[in-house]
Each structure stands twice: as structure tokens, then as C-alpha cells.
């Protein structure tokens, strides 16, 4: 029995259309204030259809954050591909991520301070963000899995902190990262060889 061989693709396209509509709403107002009814209307579907793809707002938010996290990670790795020095790679990678989130009105709304900044909550709970951050930490210098996991968790917290409470400008943030983050995240042995 062949079945409907396009079913999975149609489901993916429909889910992406819903997430795209959600992104447009997030760009216009803080993510924490966007409801499922608004998303269904923006996507041009009923709430029943919306709930067929995403069982609740948390599931939709998670899917949106994961999709955008993969996109941001690809963009960041492309932007720092030529940077081989682990210290510079760390700084440039963090600044690229901060810049990319801030330049996206849909993503910046996740860190708005007039409502609960749900981006920090999502970043802390997301297995995708955890895995991508660990991959980045390993690219700086491989280490024991528990050390990598610990450093990645701390890095996620630093990034969300800078998104909620940014430095004066990119130069200020670069200076803070150089002074306070590089010594912790880039192992001392790697710093000594630089």
C-alpha cells in the first residue's frame, strides 16, 4: 500500500506557513502577547486546524524557536567560518548571534522587557538550543561532555542576559566578552598557545 506519499510534505508546508504567520505577528508585537487565535487568523486557518499541528501555544512557540535557532546557527557559522582562533571565534560567534537576533523584529520581541521575556525561558528549556550551543562550544575546543554542557548552559544564560540587558553598543559588548567570557569558555591551555 503506497499511501499518501505527499502527506508529510503537506504537513511540513502547513506547519511552516503557521510558523511564518506567527513570526510576522512576533515582529509586530511582543511574542508573549501573541495568542493562538491571532496566529490562526494570520495563517488563514481555523483554530482547529492550528491545534492539529500544534497542540498548544507552548508547542507552537517551541517549534518556532527551534526553527529559528537552526537558522541562526547556520547564519552564525557562515559568518565566522574563517575565524580559527578560539578566542576570536567565541567573541565573533556571540556577537553575530546577538546581532542576528536584534536585527530580527520577530526574534527581538522574545526578549522584550515590558512583558515576561519568554525568550530566556525558551532558551533555558530548549534541547535544540542546548545541542547547538554545545556544538559551538566544542568548535572552540573539545572537552569532556560534562564540561561542554556546563559551559554551553552558562553561554546560553550570558546570551539571554545580553539580549535582555544589552551593553552600550557592540564595542562595549566585545570588551565585556573579551574580559569576562573568553577566560572562562576558552580553556587555559588553548589561550596559552595563542
- Asked if 118 contacts 110 with a C-beta cutoff of 8 angstroms, the reply is yes
Give the chain's domains with CATH numbers: 7-186 (1.10.357.10)
Give residue-wise pLDDT tens across range 28-45: 999 989 999 999 999 999
Least confidently predicted of 23-37, 92-106, 143-157, 178-192: 178-192
| Cβ atoms of 194 and 85 closer than 8 Å | yes
Q: What are phi and psi of 34, to 5 degrees?
A: -85, 125
Query: What backbone phi and psi angles, to 5 degrees, belong to 112?
Result: -65, 145
Please count the other Cβ atoms lying within 10 Å of the Cβ belonging to residue 171. 10
Return d(Cα 114, Cα 7) in angstroms, integer: 41
Neighbours of 67 (CB within 10 A): 16
CA-to-CA dists, residue 70 to 2, 50, 79, angstroms: 32, 23, 14
Q: What is the pLDDT of residues 119-147, one digit of tens each?
A: 888 998 999 999 999 999 999 988 899 99
pTM value is 0.86
Closest CA to 156 of 75, 94, 65: 94
DSSP annotation of 5 reads T
Amino acid at each position: 500500500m503506497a499511501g499518501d506519499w505527499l502527506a508529510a510534505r503537506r504537513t511540513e508546508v502547513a506547519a511552516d506557513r503557521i510558523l511564518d504567520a506567527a513570526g510576522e505577528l512576533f515582529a509586530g508585537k511582543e511574542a508573549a502577547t501573541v495568542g493562538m487565535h491571532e496566529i490562526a487568523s494570520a495563517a488563514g486557518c481555523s483554530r482547529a486546524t492550528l491545534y492539529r499541528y500544534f497542540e498548544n501555544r507552548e508547542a507552537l512557540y517551541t517549534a518556532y524557536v527551534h526553527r529559528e535557532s537552526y537558522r541562526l546557527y547556520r547564519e552564525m557559522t557562515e559568518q565566522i567560518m574563517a575565524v580559527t582562533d578560539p578566542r576570536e571565534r567565541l567573541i565573533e560567534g556571540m556577537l553575530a548571534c546577538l546581532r542576528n537576533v536584534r536585527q530580527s523584529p520577530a526574534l527581538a520581541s522574545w526578549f522584550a522587557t515590558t512583558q515576561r521575556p519568554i525568550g530566556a525561558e525558551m532558551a533555558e528549556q530548549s534541547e535544540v538550543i542546548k545541542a547547538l550551543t554545545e556544538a559551538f562550544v566544542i568548535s572552540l575546543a573539545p572537552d569532556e561532555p560534562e564540561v561542554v554542557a556546563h559551559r554551553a548552559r552558562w553561554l546560553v544564560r550570558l546570551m539571554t542576559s545580553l539580549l535582555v540587558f544589552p551593553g552600550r553598543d557592540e564595542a562595549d559588548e566585545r570588551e565585556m566578552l573579551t574580559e569576562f567570557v573568553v577566560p572562562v569558555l576558552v580553556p587555559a591551555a588553548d589561550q596559552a598557545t595563542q
